[in-house]
Structure 1
Amino acid sequence: MLFLVIAHDGTDEGALARRLAVREKHLERSGKLKEIGTQLVGAAILDENERMVGSAMVLEAENEDALRALLAQDPYSAGDVWRRFQILPFLRTP
């Protein structure tokens, strides 16, 4: 099953620094997920000042519980970057 995930970063003063501290590990993991077909697309969400404030992804998982487990393993989750998720079932057009 495909899911559109909007992951919102924290809004505190240290949020961007936490993101940047683990960004390379996150990108490395994201690349591996793309290689195995789990992640179809991923991108940073920017605010009006072009500062990274979240992430948008299309991910494949068996169900929402499996998706949440996958998200919990991401360096942005472990690094306290992502604070809130919007998870929407996603249907790709042919």
Structure 2
Amino acid sequence: MSSSGSETQNEWLVILPDKTDADAVKRRLEVRGKHLEAAMERASQGIINFGGIMLHEHIKEGETPKFKGSIMLFKLETKEEVLEIIKSDKYIENNVWDLEKMEIYPFRTALRKAL
């Protein structure tokens, strides 16, 4: 990549729906640990500033979440750099995210509050 996340002011909001086949949740859960490990590394580098899951409904205790996809906020210079990272993600390698339905928008954070 031409620049590190900390050198740019460009932000990109990425919406990645999951595949809708019957085994998508199983595939997601199988590689979730590796996906989160890579996401945390990118967060420590200042490349990802926010990330989480979209749900069909709020999580109920004792039930598998009804995943809908993922949302992330990248801090990189170009859209191509964002795509490079997304395409190397375990969720792509394991056919979890539906790239055909992906949305990427230039974004500017106005408010951010830590959890």
Q: TM-score, length-normalised on structure 1?
A: 0.93
| Structure 1 residue 49, shift from structure 2 partner | 6.2
Residue aligning to 2:110: 93
Residue aligning to 1:80: 95
Matches within 5 A, 1:47-86: 47-48=56-57, 50=59, 51-83=66-98, 84-86=101-103
Q: Which structure shows the bigger proportion of residues in strand conformation?
A: 1
Instruction: Look up the equivalent residue of 1:34 and give its one-letter code.
Output: A
Number of corresponding residues: 94
Residue aligning to 1:35: 44
Residue 93 of structure 1: SS of its match in structure 2? coil
Residue 65 of structure 1: SS of its match in structure 2? helix
Identity between Structure 1 and Structure 2 (%): 33
Instruction: Look up the equivalent residue of 1:48 and give its one-letter code.
Output: E
Note the residue ranges of structure 1 that are not aligned, 5 or more in a row: none
Distance 1:53 1:19 in 2: 11
Note the residue ranges of structure 2 that are not aligned, 5 or more in a row: 1-9, 60-65
- Return structure 1 stretches of 4+ with deviation > 2 angstroms: none
Residue aligning to 2:53: 44
Larger radius of gyration between Structure 1 and Structure 2: 2
Distance 1:25 1:70 in 2: 14
Residue 42 of structure 1: SS of its match in structure 2? strand
